[in-house]
Structure 1
Amino acid sequence: MYDVVVVGARCAGAATARLVAGMGHDVLMVDKTRLPSDTLSTHGLIRGGVVQLARWGLLDRVLAGGAPAITHVLFGINGEPKVRRIKERAGVDVLVAPRRRILDGLLVDAAMEAGAELRTEVTATGLLRSDDGRVAGIVGRSADGDRVELPARVVVGADGRGSRMAGYFGAETYEQSTSPCAVFYTYVTGLRSDTYEFHIAPDTFAGVFPTHDGAACVWLIRPTPLLEPIRTAGSTRTAAFVQQLELLVPDLGHRVRAGRVTARLRGIANLPNYLRQSHGPGWALVGDAGYHRDPITGHGITDAFRDAELLAIAIDRSLDDPTLERAAMTSYQRTRDAMLREVFDLTRALTAFPPPDRFVELQLQLSEALEREADELASFPGFTAHLAA
């Protein structure tokens, strides 16, 4: 019998497991894949996510692992670039964009150092329930096809946007829409290694996140129909991507062409925006399993880190005193929903791609909201300070 079984061992799941294990509880992480591995993600962290890494004592590990320290941000509006130095706020003065295979692996290692266990290549196929219907663990299948039963006092679904756990729990979706946008991205060498770039043009948002091995993630977001020239290009999609960048954001496009593309082009369209019920008797959801919105605001990893800490607090209280479970989990969902609301609404406004002047206004509102959020995260209770040791 584990105290907690966490299904999914990437950003949200591994962070939750680390925090809960560090509080002295027995935690098992399970994941259907063999880790570490990459996943669909542009992986640029904004200040709030970096604040969490710093608070947890992991930022130095991320930097030591080869992620370049981002010290500047470039904003290009209709071809006119402005570069700003990242000022210290909420205790950090850099940003980072680590590849997911490295970041997720680092978080898993930290969770195991805190006492959590890990089992990979285990697919959750259902739930164990007590006589009163409370979730009491998971049923799974190993890579060899063997049935696995893992009892637990609390089961956490951290299995991402297509969460099967949310379905097994019967979690209600109480707010939902579909983004009208698509994003394509690849990796390119020869670009600035210390600068995030954001370029705005009519119906266009493009950018650069420097990452490991001298490469940078270069991405392009537009209303989905306007990206048909890339989507339908078949084997020449990468060439079509570079061509579109040159047409839409000439300076960035020319620099990408002068560099070297080191990975295949990846993309996804019309992603869902949703809020799901985040808890019930014996279960909880965290990360994309419980909440998701279009990546145009670049907030996914910060969401995962914020919610991991909010959930860890609730689980700790619930395990220490089961009579507090309902109040603690209700507080988790209420706080999560309050903290995500402003960025959630700005995300939907930005994906409507208003004229550039209005798009810039929304970006300024977003920047202010993200800085306030970073301050709030930096002021969270210091109950995890001992984990930095």
Structure 2
Amino acid sequence: MKQNYDVIIVGARIAGSTLAYELSKKGYDILLLERSTFPSDILSTHNFFNNSVGMLREMGVLDRLLATRTPTYKRAYIQFDQNIIDGSFPEVNGETDCLCIRRTYLDQILFEHASEHEKVTAIEGFRVTDVVSKNGRIEGVIGIDKAGNTSSYMAKLVIGADGRNSTIRRLVNSERLTSVPTDFASYVAYLDHYPQKNEICTEFYKINDKLLISFPTSDNLCVMGIMFPLEDIEWRETFRSNPVLGLRSLINTEFSNTDLPARMQDAHFVGPIRGLLGYDNDWYKGMGKGWALIGDAVSFKDPAVGQGMHDAIYESRILSEILNTHSSWDDNWEEMANTYQNLMESKMKTRFEMACQFTKNIPFSDQQHFINSMIASDSNLTQMFLGVYNYTFEPQDLENKIKELIARGLKNE
């Protein structure tokens, strides 16, 4: 096996495998390293809105993903206290369906898709322990394979696609530009026999200071995330000692004004309930001399907005185009880094800011209740609200439309 490559990508889940695929199409020799072995699971909402489903189709993997018999959905049911927003996501470039596929299927299929390209050398079970650097430039990685052997590999560029707790990010000492800590504890569970009314859909509830989100997913299951304030010691202790009891009790007491308790009666849990007691919504510097970051390694955001999958794919496209634009990387690190940072922020910062709003335990104001009731009662506003999640509309578009309708109503009084 050769030791030198154009690019080493550390982390071979959605961000890393997608980037390996994109760069291999442009003729680069890629070494794709993953510390796990596939199939394997990871804590994640793993949802693609229909704009992201379109990108999966363009990559040529959508049919393989759908062959897992993971259901698609078009509708969202959202309850913000007493206001209910119910509608379908706007169509995006002919795509109408959203997909929430378990990571055991998603990551393996994407990894295999990338590995099939002759320009990609892929290794599972390889844990990076250090980077090789010279004169301030990253030149390679050192790590341990699954047999316990230590190896080093060299490349013109090392990319960290290794998640929220990125080893590469730590080793290259990337600067954290923004950090907003969450106010919530989060638990994620898979449920069988969880019925939905009418057509299947994603559900999102914010009742006082408790949040619940669910998606129909693979294996005839529902993936459900439930969030409560970190400062709530009583609920934290209940979930710590018995997460099944905690989740059922919280739904029965805190969501009693919904039909969730009735629908949970016959549901049972599949696998462990996993928790995340606090996390930061953060944004790091994405590139430096000989290194770059992608996916959750460069920016992690509250899963309530469901943008992580989209951002991983989109960033891989941005980064691959930037790299392909410059024949000499060593002469252009600063320019490429600025371009990468600016393009990421211009496309994705507004959804990051949305996540930072959801991540804080702030009750809806009377004004926000009024706006939510406007959205719930107007089908066009509902479409614009849902369209923010799939990039059909920007948050500013929705805000301007609401201001216009309020001004028109005041004028007609």
TM beyond 0.5: yes
CA distance in 1, matches of 2:333, 2:318: 14
Aligned with 1:294 (options 284, 287, 302): 302
Report how many aligned residue pairs link the two structures: 374
Distance 1:81 1:361, change over 3 A: closer
Aligned with 2:270 (options 239, 254, 262): 262
Please state whether the residue corresponding to 2:108 is helix, strand or coil.
Answer: helix
Measured after TM superposition, the shift of residue 8 of structure 1 is 0.5
CA distance in 1, matches of 2:311, 2:181: 19
1:246 alignment partner in structure 2: 252
Given that 1:278 and 1:285 are in contact with CA atoms closer than 8 Å, whether structure 2 keeps it comes out as yes
1:20 alignment partner in structure 2: 23
Q: Which amino acid aligns with 1:261?
A: F
Q: After the TM superposition, which of the residue ranges 83-92 and 215-224 deviates more from structure 2?
A: 83-92
Aligned with 1:120 (options 119, 124, 131): 124
Measured after TM superposition, the shift of residue 82 of structure 1 is 5.3
Aligned with 2:208 (options 202, 210, 215): 202
Measured after TM superposition, the shift of residue 17 of structure 1 is 0.8
Q: After the TM superposition, which of the residue ranges 74-83 and 113-122 deviates more from structure 2?
A: 74-83
Given that 2:51 and 2:95 are in contact with CA atoms closer than 8 Å, whether structure 1 keeps it comes out as no
Q: Does 1:56 align with 2:59?
A: yes
Q: After the TM superposition, which of the residue ranges 301-310 and 56-65 deviates more from structure 2?
A: 56-65
Given that 2:56 and 2:62 are in contact with CA atoms closer than 8 Å, whether structure 1 keeps it comes out as yes
Measured after TM superposition, the shift of residue 326 of structure 1 is 3.6
CA distance in 1, matches of 2:183, 2:299: 18
CA distance in 1, matches of 2:329, 2:129: 30
Distance 1:254 1:282, change over 3 A: same
Q: Please provide the CA RMSD for this pair.
A: 2.5
Q: Does 1:105 align with 2:112?
A: no
Given that 1:317 and 1:325 are in contact with CA atoms closer than 8 Å, whether structure 2 keeps it comes out as no
Q: Which amino acid aligns with 1:280?
A: G
Please state whether the residue corresponding to 2:283 is helix, strand or coil.
Answer: strand
1:281 alignment partner in structure 2: 289
1:132-188 Cα offsets, whole Å, 9 max, x none, are 332111111122322211111111011111111112112111222211112112111
Q: Does 1:223 align with 2:229?
A: yes
Distance 1:221 1:360, change over 3 A: farther
Measured after TM superposition, the shift of residue 79 of structure 1 is 6.2
Measured after TM superposition, the shift of residue 71 of structure 1 is 2.4
Given that 1:178 and 1:273 are in contact with CA atoms closer than 8 Å, whether structure 2 keeps it comes out as yes
CA distance in 1, matches of 2:102, 2:42: 9
Q: Which amino acid aligns with 2:389?
A: L
Q: After the TM superposition, which of the residue ranges 7-16 and 333-342 deviates more from structure 2?
A: 333-342
Correspondences of 1:134-173 after superposition (within 5 Å): 134-173=137-176
Measured after TM superposition, the shift of residue 38 of structure 1 is 0.3
Any runs of at least 4 consecutive aligned residues in structure 1 with deviations exceeding 6 A, and if so which?
362-366
CA distance in 1, matches of 2:369, 2:31: 44
Distance 1:360 1:217, change over 3 A: farther
Q: Which amino acid aligns with 1:92?
A: E
Distance 1:55 1:32, change over 3 A: same
* Structure 1 unmatched ranges of 5 or more: 376-389
1:380 alignment partner in structure 2: none
CA distance in 2, matches of 1:111, 1:99: 18
1:308-350 Cα offsets, whole Å, 9 max, x none, are 1111112223456654454233211111122222112222222
2:99 alignment partner in structure 1: 96
Correspondences of 1:221-370 after superposition (within 5 Å): 221-226=227-232, 228-250=234-256, 251-318=259-326, 323-356=331-364, 358=368, 361=371, 367-370=386-389
TM-score normalised over the length of structure 2: 0.83
2:379 alignment partner in structure 1: none
Distance 1:55 1:320, change over 3 A: farther
Given that 2:305 and 2:389 are in contact with CA atoms closer than 8 Å, whether structure 1 keeps it comes out as no
1:379 alignment partner in structure 2: none
Measured after TM superposition, the shift of residue 276 of structure 1 is 0.9
Distance 1:41 1:374, change over 3 A: farther
Measured after TM superposition, the shift of residue 19 of structure 1 is 0.6
* Structure 2 unmatched ranges of 5 or more: 376-381, 395-413
CA distance in 2, matches of 1:8, 1:208: 27
CA distance in 2, matches of 1:151, 1:183: 39
CA distance in 2, matches of 1:182, 1:141: 34
Distance 1:231 1:295, change over 3 A: farther
CA distance in 1, matches of 2:111, 2:393: 24
Measured after TM superposition, the shift of residue 47 of structure 1 is 3.4
Instruction: Report which of the two structures shows the higher radius of gyration computed on alpha carbons.
Output: 2
CA distance in 2, matches of 1:360, 1:93: 30
Q: Does 1:38 align with 2:46?
A: no
Given that 2:89 and 2:387 are in contact with CA atoms closer than 8 Å, whether structure 1 keeps it comes out as no
Please state whether the residue corresponding to 1:104 is helix, strand or coil.
Answer: helix
Please state whether the residue corresponding to 1:174 is helix, strand or coil.
Answer: strand
